[in-house]
Structure 1
Amino acid sequence: MIIKKVFIIKNLKALIFLFFLFLILINSQDIYAEEYEGITILSEQVTSEFPEGIRFEANFYSEEKLSDVRVFFQPISSDSPQYAYLDLFSSEFSHNGDLFYRTDGNRYIPPGTVYDYWYVITTQSGTEIKTKLKSFTYIDSRFEWESVKEGPITVMYHGPMKSRAITLAKAAEESLEIMGPIIGSEIKTPIVVTLYNNNSEMIGAVKSKSMTTSRELITEGQAFHSHGVVLVLAGRRDIGTITHEITHILVGRSAGSSGQVPLWLNEGLAEYGNMDKSISYIRFLEWAMDTNRLLPFSHLKTFPGDPNLILVAYGQSRSMVKFMLDNYGPKKMSNLMSELKSVSDIDKAIKKIYGKDLLTLESDWRRSIGAPEYVPPEPKLNKIETLDKQNEYKILTLSPDEEGTDISSVPSSDSNEVTNKNSDKTVGCSSSGRSDLSLISALILILIFYRRDRNKI
């Protein structure tokens, strides 16, 4: 009888232990045991602490001392892993590893990046053990995220934005299907879109080239092709934004690096793929034609700093890409993108694919829109004469169309000239123009006081 009671008590204790162990396991995805050759991973977790960094934590059991533990990680859209060493704290057979990988400053990682990661454990005897591959998403930890999925597109959202997220996911998938064959890019690799509800949320997430940019611009979208991530600001133009940025991802995939592609071609394709096009670029293109201010494409590897000329550059780029596709077909364009993987000279690439150089192609385009032919300046022109010609440009004052003017959707690899001098939704005078006005006002005040003093005398 006593033996039976002891047996029941022991079983009861075991059941209670198993019950609590079960509760722990179902409430934590990070606590488990993985066994390798003489090493057991008792627990491990990855925590997003955006924007500061990513925290890796792991607890190992090993009777042999550990020499070091490295964690390897890479975006799922990349095949170039990075690694870093965990700080190890050992006590007998227990070894706790910790690493905080900073992502601020030059190590910026866009929120929504999906990473594959694994550990390589080296024992004191030199044995290396590689753990199995796992994945995690580097999220913006300020918010609780949900997601919707359409094909390879995942849209992450928070708050009452599910219906909008579904609409954007469908538009992005449609954009992939339309622009993928044109650019010659594969469209199966997943893309994550992180959707922000307002500008104050977006400011804390985007990669800004300067504090001035953060204060003065509303960034409506950014694309990171090497991470497979797009950031989008929700609003009335967000379908145009997401399809524009998705095209940048495809350009980066097709050409190997979006930096290989001149800005006019990159932005021209992105605007061609924009499913909610603004008419502002058409207006500025017409203005440039009427005032002989069209910019030669050989100068549009980056865009100018003047806000008016930026919009001209966007209008030209979209028009030129449309001309190339209408007259030569999408196959030529996809061949051009493929050629740019190995040839960074756009003139050589165009000549090989289209059988004519960039200047001739531009002349054909100009004729098609009724613009005068571009004649390159004579080599004898010195720098002073060139500067004088540039200074002939006048500031245009033209109100943007009803839908606004989106000039902020520029990939992070684009030039500082474009990003730092764009102004939010408006087209107006540059800062130097405002300084001249202040100087004139000061001179007028001095003259008034001078006359008043003379009258008193």
Structure 2
Amino acid sequence: MSVPGRARGLVAAAVVIAGLALTAVVGAQSADRPTVQGIRFENNWPDSVTVTALVQNAEEIESATFLYAVLPEGAITREPAEIQSGDVTRVTAEFPTREPMIWIPAGADFEWRWEFRYESGDTYETDSQIWRYEDPRFEWESLHEGVLEVAYYQDRGVAEQMLREGLEALEEIAPFLGLDELIPMKVYVWANSDDARQVERIESESFEESVITGGTRVLADLVHIYTPSRWVVRHELTHVLTKLAGEGPYGDLPAWLDEGMATIAEGDWLDRRGGALQYAINNDLVLSLRSMESPSNRPGFVDIFYGQSAAVVLFLLTEYGTERMNDLFQAFKEGQSVNDALTSVYGLDREGLDNAWRASVGLPPREQEEDRSTRIEDDVIGGPEVADADDSPGEGDSESQAEAGAAQAREDGDRQAAQQSAEGSDTQDALPEQVEVSRSEDEIAERVAEIERRQDQRRQRPVFEVAEPFPWEYPLIGIAGALVLLSGLMLARVLAPRRD
């Protein structure tokens, strides 16, 4: 059915009018929303950042909040803003960057936006944007290649070396960790450790040890270099990879695995750590794998820790191959414990791997000392042998007597242990042999009788005795005698004849 021309014209006019009306409504709604005309970040290095925004259509705004999150994995932080009304409303927020609990490292990118709340309770958020927080004391430049960015302010040649060495390390180490895709990474290079003094976290306990290695990974995608060298950038970028490959929801990787892989990435690590490691092997001073789950800061053991960590990781790669190492990092990524991950991948627990590596360098298995801290010499008194003794108590009292015997045995055992400790190491060495000696039935019966005798002595009178009545008669007699003497003296004075 055809539509007459007049009708078609009316329909077209109606569509145009509806479109204009919709545009007017949308325009009115947009006009009512706050509009951020300008934004300024003021870097109050190194303590805070102040953000100021000029906002139009802010008459009905009741409050404003600055929302930001440090990328790539930071949680959203809300910072209340101050509103200053005028021809153009000024909104200002300040957030800390260098506090013990809140630290934003130089070079961090963070995503930010404003949230405005109206008097009606409705809220409006601006679009998210990215801003990079940098050390404002220097003019930073950047080099980019692949997934890696190197920021520098002084020597371009050094930055080019950092970029080249970093890319090589990523290419070499990623296959060991099973990483097919890498995230973008940033390296910020300071010319020396003095320039970097205000960069570290406030009251940081780790900065001094960071200077030892020349740098540190500060975020999942960000590395700081304080003393530029090829091995430092390779080491620290490997920490970005190990975190990406192995850190799960329940904690960090064991330090020996994390630092061992990073030390291997240095390439020439034996030149720095090999001497200390060989000395430790020659004198059986190597660390236990259990103690190496946290980094060692003990003087004289730092080089041993790094060298041994690298040696253990190399042992796993050499003996079991790259695929097993991939599986190990995946196990940690899934949240398995150290023992569970090692057992599921290699069939060795922590101690098993420790001894396997020791054997590979010619050391005997680590001795497992028996824990005798809960062994009591006289525990046998309360055991079945007492119940079978001729002089043992009857069935009705057996439970209470056994408890009393055990308590007395513990008391005597503690006293004997203290005496043996005072006598010297020879007596201590003989103690385990005494513990193993069994007693004859006569000795047991004699011991039980002694315990019963002591218990009876304890029951003869209460622990706290009632004191005897105070002998009040003695002080009263003394007072009475004094009064009689005083009365006699006064009477004698009265009766004495006066002399004219």
TM-score (norm 2): 0.64
User: Match for residue 191 of structure 1?
Assistant: 185
CA distance in 2, matches of 1:61, 1:55: 20
Shift of 1:206: 2.3
Shift of 1:264: 1.1
Q: CA 1:74–1:240 in 2, change beyond 3 Å: closer, same or farther?
A: same
3-state SS of 2:137 partner = coil
| Contact 1:77–1:189 (Cα < 8 Å) also in 2 | no
Pairing 1:121-200 to 2, within 5 Å after superposition: 121-159=116-154, 161-185=155-179, 187-200=181-194
| Contact 1:177–1:187 (Cα < 8 Å) also in 2 | no
- Confirm whether residue 111 of structure 1 aligns to residue 103 of structure 2: no
- Confirm whether residue 232 of structure 1 aligns to residue 216 of structure 2: no
User: Match for residue 322 of structure 1?
Assistant: 314
3-state SS of 2:348 partner = coil
CA distance in 2, matches of 1:229, 1:212: 17
Shift of 1:180: 2.2
Give CA deviations for 1:372-421 in whole Å, capped at 9, x if unaligned.
22222222279x99xx9xxxxxxxxxxxxxxxxxxxxxxxxxxxxxxxxx
User: Between the two proteins, what is the percent identity of the paired residues?
Assistant: 23
| Contact 1:288–1:312 (Cα < 8 Å) also in 2 | yes
3-state SS of 1:147 partner = strand
- 2:41 is aligned, of 46, 51, 63, to 46
| CA RMSD in angstroms, aligned pairs only | 2.8
| Contact 1:260–1:344 (Cα < 8 Å) also in 2 | no
| Contact 2:67–2:78 (Cα < 8 Å) also in 1 | yes
Q: CA 1:176–1:216 in 2, change beyond 3 Å: closer, same or farther?
A: closer
3-state SS of 1:200 partner = coil
User: Match for residue 288 of structure 1?
Assistant: 280
Shift of 1:310: 2.1
CA distance in 1, matches of 2:345, 2:32: 55
| Contact 1:225–1:252 (Cα < 8 Å) also in 2 | no
User: Match for residue 433 of structure 1?
Assistant: none
3-state SS of 1:105 partner = coil
Amino acid at match of 1:115: F
User: Match for residue 72 of structure 1?
Assistant: 67
Amino acid at match of 2:174: G
3-state SS of 2:277 partner = helix
- 2:269 is aligned, of 277, 296, 315, to 277
Give CA deviations for 1:238-273 in whole Å, capped at 9, x if unaligned.
111011111111222223369521111111111122
Shift of 1:148: 0.8
Q: CA 1:86–1:219 in 2, change beyond 3 Å: closer, same or farther?
A: farther
| Contact 1:351–1:357 (Cα < 8 Å) also in 2 | yes
Amino acid at match of 1:367: A
- Confirm whether residue 62 of structure 1 aligns to residue 57 of structure 2: yes
User: Match for residue 207 of structure 1?
Assistant: 201
User: Match for residue 247 of structure 1?
Assistant: 238
| Contact 2:159–2:189 (Cα < 8 Å) also in 1 | yes
Amino acid at match of 2:78: Y
- Decide which structure has the larger Cα Rg and report it: 2
3-state SS of 1:129 partner = strand
- Confirm whether residue 369 of structure 1 aligns to residue 361 of structure 2: yes
Amino acid at match of 2:344: K
User: Match for residue 432 of structure 1?
Assistant: none
CA distance in 1, matches of 2:226, 2:207: 16
TM-score (norm 1): 0.69
Shift of 1:102: 0.9
User: Match for residue 222 of structure 1?
Assistant: 216
User: Match for residue 409 of structure 1?
Assistant: none
CA distance in 1, matches of 2:31, 2:251: 43
CA distance in 2, matches of 1:137, 1:213: 23
Shift of 1:133: 2.0
| Contact 1:208–1:214 (Cα < 8 Å) also in 2 | no
User: Match for residue 348 of structure 1?
Assistant: 340
3-state SS of 1:58 partner = strand
Give CA deviations for 1:313-371 in whole Å, capped at 9, x if unaligned.
11110000011112222222222222223435211111112222122222222222222
| Contact 1:71–1:118 (Cα < 8 Å) also in 2 | yes
CA distance in 2, matches of 1:361, 1:211: 31
- 2:79 is aligned, of 84, 104, 107, to 84
CA distance in 1, matches of 2:36, 2:289: 58
Q: CA 1:60–1:213 in 2, change beyond 3 Å: closer, same or farther?
A: closer
User: Match for residue 395 of structure 2?
Assistant: none
- Confirm whether residue 302 of structure 1 aligns to residue 305 of structure 2: no
Q: CA 1:103–1:341 in 2, change beyond 3 Å: closer, same or farther?
A: same
Give CA deviations for 1:49-73 in whole Å, capped at 9, x if unaligned.
3321222111111154112222222
Higher mean displacement: 96-105 or 317-326: 96-105
CA distance in 1, matches of 2:42, 2:31: 24
Which ranges of structure 1 fall in alignment gaps of 5 or more residues? 1-34, 389-457
| Contact 2:32–2:57 (Cα < 8 Å) also in 1 | no
Q: How many residues align?
A: 346
| Contact 1:225–1:248 (Cα < 8 Å) also in 2 | no
Amino acid at match of 2:56: Y
Choose between structure 1 and 2 for higher RCO, CA contacts under 8 A separated by at least 6 residues: 1
3-state SS of 1:148 partner = strand
3-state SS of 1:120 partner = strand
Amino acid at match of 2:231: G
CA distance in 2, matches of 1:63, 1:286: 71
Amino acid at match of 1:246: L
Higher mean displacement: 277-286 or 337-346: 337-346
Q: CA 1:215–1:311 in 2, change beyond 3 Å: closer, same or farther?
A: closer
Give CA deviations for 1:119-147 in whole Å, capped at 9, x if unaligned.
22222222322222211111011111111
Shift of 1:175: 1.8
Pairing 1:2-13 to 2, within 5 Å after superposition: none
Amino acid at match of 2:167: E
Give CA deviations for 1:424-443 in whole Å, capped at 9, x if unaligned.
xxxxxxxxxxxxxxxxxxxx
Q: Which protein is richer in helix relative to its size? A: 2
Shift of 1:36: 7.3
